[in-house]
Amino acid sequence: MGNPDLLEDLDQRIWISSKIRIREPDLRSVESFVNRTYKMVHYEILTFTVLSLVLTFSEGKVFGRCELAKKLLQNNVPKNQIPTWLCIAKHESGYDNTKINWQTGDHGVFQISQIYWCSTDNQPGKACQSTCASFRDENLNNDIACVRKIYEEHQRLSGNGFNAWTVYSQSCKGDNSQYVKGCF
Ligand SMILES: [Ca+2]
């Protein structure tokens, strides 16, 4: 008979060493698991980066003529004004929401000026309480709200709100009905 304490200690050592032996091969699978996870994370980061780039560059949209006409109508623009708005948008941007004129600081489909109407930083500001960047996205609701404000202001000042856009007197004073042909 040995010392029960010593026997217990020996038992414990055997138990611990058996655990270590069992775990040794596991280390390799842990390592391979870590490697696989590392590769997966890398793959996910790469996928995320590619998707972000695709989304960033796919924000650009050239509106269809009738698509734009319908957006104007949905935003309560008087129907008889819509042909002229389309003519202005066509000449200002070609209906492209990403259009920016770096020289004059005009933004979006309606080329809204940053001088009076929108802020160039991240805080919405100036007369339309908007960022200029928000006039270059695909949602035209705030663009249309702003052009209506510009129109009203110029209507008050000059008797014709469309005068705010130089292309109006150059190209859009006549019959613009062809712009909404087949739209409504
Ligand atoms: Ca917008």
Could you report the per-residue pLDDT of 114-132, keeping only the tens digit for each? Answer: 999 999 999 999 999 999 9
CA of 114 to the centre of ligand 1 (A): 14
Average pLDDT along the chain: 85
CA of 172 to the centre of ligand 1 (A): 23
CA of 10 to the centre of ligand 1 (A): 77
CA of 55 to the centre of ligand 1 (A): 17
- pLDDT tens figures, 46-67: 655 555 555 445 468 999 999 9
Sequence-separated (6 or more) residues with CB below 8 Å from residue 112: 106, 118, 128, 132, 135, 143, 146, 147, 150
Domain 65-179: assigned CATH number:
1.10.530.10
Per-residue model confidence (pLDDT) at position 19: 55
CA of 76 to the centre of ligand 1 (A): 16
CA of 145 to the centre of ligand 1 (A): 10
CA of 60 to the centre of ligand 1 (A): 12
Per-residue model confidence (pLDDT) at position 56: 47
Per-residue model confidence (pLDDT) at position 74: 98
The pTM of this model reads: 0.70
CA of 123 to the centre of ligand 1 (A): 15
CA of 33 to the centre of ligand 1 (A): 47
> Would you kindly state where each structural domain of the chain is located, as residue ranges?
1-58, 65-179
CA of 184 to the centre of ligand 1 (A): 23
CA of 156 to the centre of ligand 1 (A): 25
User: 124 vs 16, which has greater pLDDT?
Assistant: 124
